[in-house]
Amino acid sequence: MNGQDREVLLEVSGLTKHFGKNEVLRGIDTTIYRGEKIAVIGPSGSGKSTFLRCLNRLEEPTAGAVLLHGEDIVTTKKINECRQKMGMVFQHFNLFNNLTVLENIMFAPVKIGKARLKKRRAAARRLKIRQFFGKDRDRQIETGPSLAQLEKEAKDHAFELLELIGLADKASAYPSTLSGGQRQRIAIVRALAMKPEVMLFDEPTSALDPEMVGEVLELIKKLADDGMTMVIVTHEMGFAREVATRVMFMDGGKICEEGPPEQIFGAPKNERLREFLSKVL
């Protein structure tokens, strides 16, 4: 577990968030390497969700930086491009109620692909006009796949993902007709449809009936085994112990202790962590 030879994916430094006078994050520093599975644990109100939501700027940080491949998410103008590389899964699933399961999964890839295609076509048109006047003769712009191709690819990918979770027969159902476990698994593959480099989970099983927790954790585990980088806020200590490569204990808006699960659960040093573990284990 030597950090030097691994690729840095996210570099968080001095991350601070205030809600009015309430200091929820008080300077978080950490580096997330590709392939890491990080479990974030801590008491309620310690700022875990806020930390996760600052990573993709769903919450505007008050200060600090979050570098994704060197681009600062906090100040970037291309926040949408950055978010496409980071999938997020919410406690309450947040599937789009007005779309079917298939449409939920295809929606973002098609919409974003379309916008990109439009942009490229406009650029190609402008170039053509310039070339007509004898400029930039040697340049060329690839417009990429056509709209039909784009849609077909997205559809095939969506079906592949649905097959992965065994819900292909629900492709044309609306979210309101599905169970919580099914909804959450679909929410996970919806995020995967954008082919993200890192997945952020905010208590993905907290809103589920106990009998459905297993199927969702199993899917997350499968992703972990496939090498996906992930940050999971969770109260499932057993799961954290089993899947995480690093556990982060947060309290009072700070990372109090972090390390491999054996250390955190086996030999906790921090007093607050020991107290927390004695309550939840």
Partner 1 sequence: MLFFQQIWQAISTQKYILLFLEGFKTTLIIAVGASVLGLVLGTLVSVVKIAAQRNRRSVLLRIPEFICNLYVSVIRGTPVALQLFIMAFAILAIRGFPLELTAILTFGINSGAYVAESLRAGIQSVDLGQTEAARSLGLSEAQSMFSIVIPQAIKNVIPAIGNELIALLKETSIVSMVGIVDLTNAAKIIGAGNEMATYLAPMVVAAIFYLAVVYLLIFAVRAIERKMKQSEQHIDEKKAEKCRVRMEKRMKAIEANYQKEQLRRKSA
Ligand X SMILES: Nc1ncnc2c1ncn2[C@@H]1O[C@H](COP(=O)(O)OP(=O)(O)OP(=O)(O)O)[C@@H](O)[C@H]1O
Interacting residue ranges for partner 1, rule: CB under 8 A: 56, 58, 80-84, 86-88, 90, 92, 94-100, 102, 107-108, 111-112, 115, 156, 159, 168-169, 171-174, 176-177, 187, 190-191, 194
Sign of CA dihedral 42, 45, 51, 52: positive
Site for Mg ion contains 234 (CB under 5 A): no
Nearer to ligand X, 47 or 64 (CB): 47
Site for ligand X contains 46 (CB under 6 A): yes
Could you tell me the smallest distance in angstroms from the CB atom of residue 155 to partner 1?
A: 9
Could you tell me the smallest distance in angstroms from the CB atom of residue 194 to partner 1?
A: 6
Could you tell me the smallest distance in angstroms from the CB atom of residue 91 to Mg ion?
A: 7
Nearer to partner 1, 96 or 239 (CB): 96
Q: CB of 18 within 8 A of CB of 199? A: no
DSSP state of 263: I
Residue 250 bridge partners (DSSP): 255
Site for ligand X contains 170 (CB under 6 A): no
- Which residues from 6-35 bind ligand X, rule CB under 6 A? 19, 22, 24
Alpha-carbon separation of residue 263 from 172, 234, 250 (angstroms): 46, 18, 15
Site for ligand X contains 49 (CB under 6 A): yes
Site for ligand X contains 272 (CB under 6 A): no
Q: Segment contacting ligand X (CB under 6 A): 2-10, 38-46, 223-231, 255-263?
A: 38-46
Whole-number Å distance between alpha carbons of 208 and 94: 13
Residue 89 bridge partners (DSSP): 201
- Which residues from 66-85 bind Mg ion, rule CB under 5 A? none
Could you tell me the smallest distance in angstroms from the CB atom of residue 130 to ligand X?
A: 48
Nearer to partner 1, 198 or 247 (CB): 198
Site for Mg ion contains 49 (CB under 5 A): yes
Binds ligand X by CB under 6 A, chosen from 10, 33, 47, 261: 47
Phi first, then psi, for residue 21 (nearest 5°) are -90, -10
Q: What's the order of all strands across the beta sheet hosting 37-41?
A: 86-89, 198-202, 229-233, 37-41, 246-251, 254-259
Q: CB of 42 within 8 A of CB of 250? A: yes
Could you tell me the smallest distance in angstroms from the CB atom of residue 42 to ligand X?
A: 6
Q: Which residues contact 102 (CB under 8 A, 6 or more apart)?
A: 155, 158, 159, 162, 171, 172
Q: CB of 66 within 8 A of CB of 11? A: yes
Could you tell me the smallest distance in angstroms from the CB atom of residue 215 to Mg ion?
A: 22
Helix axes 147-164, 101-132, angle to 10 degrees: 150
Chain positions contacting ligand X, by CB under 6 A: 19, 22, 24, 42, 44-50
